Structure 1
Amino acid sequence: MPTTSSTNFLAILNLLTFALSIPILSTGIYLAAHAITECEKFLQTPLIAIGILLMLTSLVGFVGASSKNVFLLWVYLFATFLLILAALTFTIFAFVVTNKGAGETVSGARFMEFRLGNYSHWLQNRVGNAKNWKKIKSCLQDSKVCNSLQNDNTTNKDEFLSKNLSPIQSGCCKPPTECGFIYRNPTVWDKPAGFSTSNSDCNAWQNDASILCYECQSCKAGVTENLKADWKKVAIINIVFLALLIIVYAIGCRAFSNIQEDRFYN
């Protein structure tokens, strides 16, 4: 690829990347200024970091390619190489930590139930940490994940068991099936007379809409299952991103090499 073609192509790619970084950074800044819920606050920091990183890297790449500046292109290639390493490391890590864990079938039910101990120790520690769980629980309450069940008019337990609940609804909005509670409606379950159990989740369950099973291990497991699924999706997207980074890096290396050759022969 001729020097002009490779540098122009690299400049266009980085211009597109720079344009992409603007809405990402703007969203992060907006959330930082207007965030109310823990969900929104949780997103602001990574969005701002990604936006700034993309903006700076693409700016250096664009200026370096446009001006055929060897030093700037070297800085750009070094930064892109670090991004490739980071993306590769994250992808491998994501697949490793999401390799364990699966739902358990419930007799006569369409939905599954989940146990925190079935997942990788890293995910267990991240979700189970008291400080993290306080934020996650606040996020669950703010997003009203149990509202659809609270407004459900299902009249009997058999009908309820036929519902296709999400992992979070299964773990946080109802007590575990093994508790044997008496069904009144999807989010109201009565403890039988003389009820006694060693299962901490059964003791933690409350019919109060603001409590339900948000302090249950089953709720943490439901969140972990959801997190595991999300991480797998992100890992797959990251593979595509990694492939694009490698292509851009290869083009950048070619442009860098061409510029050096031109300077050597001129």
Structure 2
Amino acid sequence: MRSSNHLIGVVNFLTFLLSIPILGGGIWLSSRANNTDCLKFLQWPLIVIGVCIMVVSLAGFAGACYRNTFLMRLYLVIMFFVIAALIGFIIFAYVVTDKGSGRVMVNRAYLDYYLQDYSGWLEERVASDSYWGKISSCIRDSKACAKMGRTVGGVPETADMFYLRKLSPIQSGCCKPPTECGYVYENETMWNPGGGLVGTNPDCTRWSNEQEQLCYSCDSCKAGVLASLKKSWRRVSVINIVVMIILVIFYIVAYAAYRNNRRIDNDEPSGEARMTKAQPSRIHF
């Protein structure tokens, strides 16, 4: 009995430690939402799951230490639903970020992003007018484009240097016109129409050298946000998958130990403790 309780206590303590990377992943997504990705509601399910695992683990740990059957049973029931929610979140994250990626451009190290390469619930959410106004304002306030400037030996970088840079999806989609439009590089956020015809992409006419506008109204900017979200979510999902597998293993071990406790308890005769049985009665009739 004692060894089973110790095992349950250790498993709950380790589960508590596993809640930290889940909670940390949600907080990291939250910081990304505030500074880069700018979609501020997607991180909350992960934060809630991390907090739930942390609280339930403490309840299970207390139940094991004090042999409180109710707390251990509550831990097993709630943890089952928490693990199911985590699995659902992982599947959801992969489904909504399944489609779309950047396109390779000739003589460019960075990728270009096109909204038509993305589809599904997340694409509709980002592209909707009600959300995009808030997202584009967040990107503008994050100064992502203003931070692109570089100098080499005190001299601004040349076009050839810029073409060799690996830009983030938001920098590529929001801070410069699409490559196919044929704009001529002046600096990172200043591009002039070329001598040839501008491409047929509607974003070609949406581009503005006005620093408060740039390509924030472009479909390429929306695609850049989607690509950035996909990258962030995939990183967190890898950690969540590893944690989820370990949680399932710990849950099975805790359930087996709990069943062992119940089996031992059920073998004890009801109405009298073992110490009472070990001592002969002093009163005889």
Q: TM-score range by the shorter chain?
A: 0.7 to 0.9
2:254 is the alignment partner of 1:252: yes
CA distance in 2, matches of 1:228, 1:115: 14
Give SS of 1:207's match. coil
Cα gap change, 1:20 to 1:210, in 2 (>3 Å): farther
Tell me: CA distance 1:178–1:154, structure 2 relative to 1, closer, same or farther (3 Å). Answer: farther
State whether residues 18 and 55 of structure 1, in contact with CA within 8 Å, keep that contact through their aligned partners in structure 2: yes
After TM superposition, give the deviation of residue 191 of structure 1 in Å.
3.3
The number of residue pairs the alignment matches comes to: 258
In the alignment, is the contact (CA less than 8 A) between 1:155 and 1:184 conserved in 2? no
Residues in 1 aligned to 2:18 and 2:243: alpha-carbon distance in whole angstroms: 14
Pairing of 1:73-222 with structure 2 (within 5 A): 73-152=72-151, 154=156, 156-191=158-193, 198-222=200-224
With normalisation by structure 1, the TM-score equals: 0.81
Percent identity between the two aligned chains: 44
The equivalent residue for 1:72 is: 71
Preserved contact between residue 98 and residue 120 of structure 1 (Cα < 8 Å)? no
- Tell me the residue number matched to 2:8: 10
Q: Which runs of structure 1 show a deviation greater than 6 angstroms over 4 or more consecutive aligned residues?
A: 19-23, 35-38, 193-197
CA 1:158–1:36 in structure 2 vs 1: closer, same or farther (change >3 Å)? closer
The structure that is helix-richer by fraction is 1
Using a 3 Å threshold, how does the CA distance of structure 1 residues 37 and 228 change in structure 2: closer, same or farther?
Answer: closer
- List gaps (5 residues or longer) in structure 1: none
What are the Cα deviations for residues 52-104 of structure 1, in whole angstroms up to 9, with x where unaligned?
41343123211222222222222211111112212222223333333321221
Cα distance in 1 between the residues matched to 2:178 and 2:112: 7
TM-score scaled by structure 2? 0.76
Structural RMSD (CA): 3.3
Query: In the alignment, is the contact (CA less than 8 A) between 2:115 and 2:220 conserved in 1?
Result: yes
Question: What does the per-residue CA deviation read over 1:185-218, in whole Å, with 9 as the maximum and x for residues that have no partner?
Answer: 1110123589776533122212122221112110
SS of structure 2 residue aligned to 1:159: helix
Q: Which amino acid aligns with 1:8?
A: H
With over 3 angstroms needed to count, the CA separation of the structure-2 counterparts of 1:14 and 1:132, relative to structure 1, is: farther
Instruction: Say if 2:7 and 2:257, in contact at 8 Å, map to a contact too.
Output: no
- Equivalent of 2:241, from 239, 250, 261? 239
Answer whether contact 1:172 1:214 (CA < 8 A) is retained: yes
Q: Please, which runs of 5 or more residues in structure 2 have no aligned partner? A: 269-285
Deviates more, 1:185-194 or 1:88-97: 185-194
Q: What is the alpha-carbon distance in structure 2 between the residues aligned to residue 90 and residue 46 of structure 1?
A: 8
Deviates more, 1:218-227 or 1:53-62: 53-62
Per mean C-alpha deviation after superposition, the further-off stretch among 8-17 and 85-94 is 8-17
**Highest CA radius of gyration, 1 or 2?**
2
Matching of residues 36-75 of structure 1 within 5 Å = 45-46=44-45, 49-50=48-49, 52-75=51-74
- 1:217 to 1:39, Cα distance in 2 relative to 1, 3 A: closer
Cα–Cα, structure 1 residues 255 and 223, in superposed 2: closer, same or farther, change >3 Å?
Answer: same
Q: Aligned pair in 2 of structure 1 residues 19, 182: CA closer, same or farther (>3 Å)?
A: closer
